[in-house]
Amino acid sequence: MQAVQSMLMKVIRPITFFILHISAFIFFSSAAADSKPNILFIAIDDLNDWIGCLDGHPQVKTPHMDSLAERGVLFTEAHCPAPVCGPSRAAIMSGMRAWNTGVYSNNANYPKRLPGVESMPQYLKRHGYATIGAGKLFHGDHSFPKGSFDRYAPMSGHPWPKEAILSSQQKPVYEWTYNGKVITFPRNGMPADRIWKDTHTFDWGPMDLPDHEFRDAKDLAWAIKEIERGLQEPYFLGFGFHLPHQPLHAPKRFHDMYPLDEVELPPHIEGDLDDLSRSGRDYALIPTTSGEHRSVVKYGQWENAVSSYLATVTFVDEMLGKLLHSLESSGQADNTWILLWSDHGWHLGEKEHWGKATGWYRATRVPLIIVPPENGAPEGFQPGSVCDQPVNLIDLYPTLIGIGSLPKNDQLDGQSLVPLVANPNADWSDHTVTTFGRGNHAITGKRWRYIQYFDGRAELYDRDRDPNEWRNLIDDPEHADIVAAMKKKMPEEALCKQFIRYGDFKAVIPSDGSPMLLFNHALENNLEERFDEAKDYPEVVAHIQDWLTRHNPTQKNVVIPD
């Protein structure tokens, strides 16, 4: 009997030790997971600096964004990695610059363009976070790598039918009936300027519809239900508002807040483009992402557009308040970091431009607010702080790694903003970079802004004396030293050997010896460089190649005479 008991003890002891060891591992692993804070990651599409706390527009009403800034750190010199949705979001979600990924345009489907690059939510999920998403986070609501999210809101759409915003169906208007009311499109009565595409979204005006019919409201309802049912901690909840992306439609009560006879237009002057190069004027006047300024003026729609933009911003702000209230009611706010950002800015007639895709301040500056939880704020943090360091949304991915105390990710080009949350005056870079196409970059410092185009033409602005960027100082000899210093901050763009202008064409010579890329800036919206057109213009390619062979230029930016 004793022999049997002895044998049993030999078996039981290691099993008991193993069970205790596993139990301890599970306990401490759970404790480690619980120590990680939650993250509420809020994206807003096409929102420029027209929010109250940034003083972007004197009439805008954004009480919830302003309140959020009072609770955290407001970054007053935050800029986007790219002033277009696709490349900006690809950079944010990959943590990598366009000149390292090759994603420069809205041809930016993440799984197709960056199949081997671990995205932000994938990284967080791999390190213990539950990942939940809704709305527009990547470019294309559901265009994210497989396995990025544990749950994602179903695709939502506009309340009106797709045909309503097709030029081919607007003859001259499309009529849609909702609850017995006839609603016509386009709401602003303007025909499309981007005649090469059927979708006509350069439109604005009130929609006499209930809030819940709008797609952002549908996504919000889904996200609030997720919060109310209790989210597994630690979690990353990403929520992306589609507004104020065009078309600029909100429930009528928001438009009523901004009467057309009282709305203030953005600052502007006659002849604003006179001191720009050919490239600068192209990026101002070609309706790459929206429409033409002359059309807005011709149809008397400037005030209506500004009113509608402000209305959609305030609509977003009200929905933001509901999202934040649901977090507060969940009991998890004390362990949740909140980050609010916009993917890029938006012009409303400044520089005679509408939309985005430029290097000017209106397109590159974005809201960025970071609020740490009361129970997990970094030492030194003061609510209501303002940071005027030049930061970039490329820093968001490493910031989340810093928030979660996660292992370093060597693929990232940015740096964590957590030190600036603790101390807004901490050591930081003296500039940041925004890229708007191959060879096009805007360098933003605390005072000076330098914009250089692919053909080497450039602009210099003194933001202290000229906040609206009305006076281009590039040819002023008194600022030659500033220009030289700013040029040195231009990214190398190792993927590209040369950038060439030949008439309306832009050619890019890849460094790896692959064929020339060609874009016709005079046709459609190829200023945005979505698709290589070299096969469509073999004679242009041949002429450029012949000229390069005969002249053998060594500089990176080349202009071939017409």
Which residue numbers are catalytic?
85, 139
Q: If DSSP states are collapsed to H, E and C, what string results for 392-423? A: EHHHHHHHHHHHCCCCCCCCCCCCCCHHHHHC
Q: Of the candidates 431, 427, 433, which has an alpha carbon nearest to the alpha carbon of residue 448?
A: 431
Q: Which residues are within 8 A (CB) of 373 and not within 5 positions of it... i.e. 6 or more apart?
A: 37, 333, 334, 335, 336, 337
Write out the DSSP string of 263-308: PPPPP--TTTTTTS-HHHHHHHHS-SSS--HHHHHHTT-HHHHHHH
How far does CA 53 lie from the centroid of its chain?
19
Cβ atoms within 10 Å of 166's Cβ, excluding its own: 16
**Please, are residues 178 and 249 in contact by the beta-carbon 8 Å criterion?**
no
**Terminal Cα-to-Cα distance of the chain (whole angstroms):** 104
**Please, are residues 48 and 56 in contact by the beta-carbon 8 Å criterion?**
yes
Specify the amino acid at residue 562.
D
State how far the Cα of 345 lies from the Cα of 365, in Å rounded to an integer: 6
Q: How many degrees, rounded to 5, is the angle at CA 197 between CA 196 and CA 201?
A: 130
**Please, are residues 54 and 367 in contact by the beta-carbon 8 Å criterion?**
yes
State how far the Cα of 391 lies from the Cα of 489, in Å rounded to an integer: 15
For residue 462, the 8-state DSSP code is E
State how far the Cα of 154 lies from the Cα of 215, in Å rounded to an integer: 11
**Please, are residues 303 and 479 in contact by the beta-carbon 8 Å criterion?**
no
**Which residue in this structure is represented by tokens 């309306």?**
504
**Please, are residues 260 and 307 in contact by the beta-carbon 8 Å criterion?**
yes
Dihedral angle of Cα 510, 516, 522, 526, to the nearest 10 degrees: -60
Q: If DSSP states are collapsed to H, E and C, what string results for 254-272? A: HHCCCCCCCCCCCCCCCCC
